[in-house]
Amino acid sequence: MENSKTQTQQATVMTPKELLNHWQGHRGLTRRTIEAFPEKEFFTHSIGGMRTYAKLIQEMLAIAGPGIKEIVDGKTAKFEEFDYQNKKENYLKAWDETTEVINEYFPKIKLEDFHKSIKTFGQYEGTVLSSIFYFIDNEIHHRGQGYVYLRSLNIEPPYFWEH
């Protein structure tokens, strides 16, 4: 058990609101990355056998909204990627709708639950906090692939620091 001196020396590094703002900053940057793609190449361009950016966005959408709902509701989410009828505008609409889901559900996470053990999508064990970091890290990873695609198309990607 920690003594009172140790407890008083602990500090909060980031508040839940700051974490949400950080995540939404990344989501805004990923949205601008989607916008930078020409319509055709969003669905067809690939390098080295990697999935198209549309397929990567499908994965991100299958994780973020359902994952945050699962964290709050405690009901196992089904990992399900949707095809948005090969229209980039449909992906952007789904992206914006997911952003609203995150904004609605994230504040419902109780502070004491961030270190609670959970299993997302019925298989990924961790804590609430590690799961949220996974959602963010997964997005950053796939956005990096999108940057490589854009550069290979001679398109300047959005500045990564502007999130």
Beta-bridge partner residues of 119: 125
pLDDT for position 159: 82
Q: Residue 140 is encoded by which pair of tokens?
A: 């950053």
Residues 6+ apart with CB under 8 A from 92: 31, 34, 35
pLDDT for position 8: 53
Beta strands in 11-161 (DSSP E): 117-120, 124-127
pLDDT tops 90 at residue 161: no
How far is Cα 54 from Cα 146, in angstroms, rounded to an integer?
10
**120-135 per-position pLDDT tens digit:** 998 899 999 999 999 9
Q: Residue 45 is encoded by which pair of tokens?
A: 């361009």
**49-81 per-position pLDDT tens digit:** 999 999 999 999 999 999 999 999 998 888 887
pLDDT for position 152: 97
Average pLDDT over residues 8-19: 82
Q: Go through the domains of the chain in sequence order and give each one's CATH number.
A: 22-122+150-163 (1.20.120)
**What backbone phi and psi angles, to 5 degrees, belong to 127?**
-110, 170
How far is Cα 132 from Cα 67, in angstroms, rounded to an integer?
8
pLDDT tops 80 at residue 3: no
How far is Cα 24 from Cα 27, in angstroms, rounded to an integer?
5
pLDDT for position 37: 98
**24-46 per-position pLDDT tens digit:** 999 999 999 999 999 999 999 99
How far is Cα 150 from Cα 110, in angstroms, rounded to an integer?
39
pLDDT tops 60 at residue 87: yes
| CA-angle at 26, arms to 23 and 30, nearest 5° | 135
**90-109 per-position pLDDT tens digit:** 999 999 999 999 999 999 99
pLDDT tops 80 at residue 4: no
Residue entry with tokens 């398109």 = 155
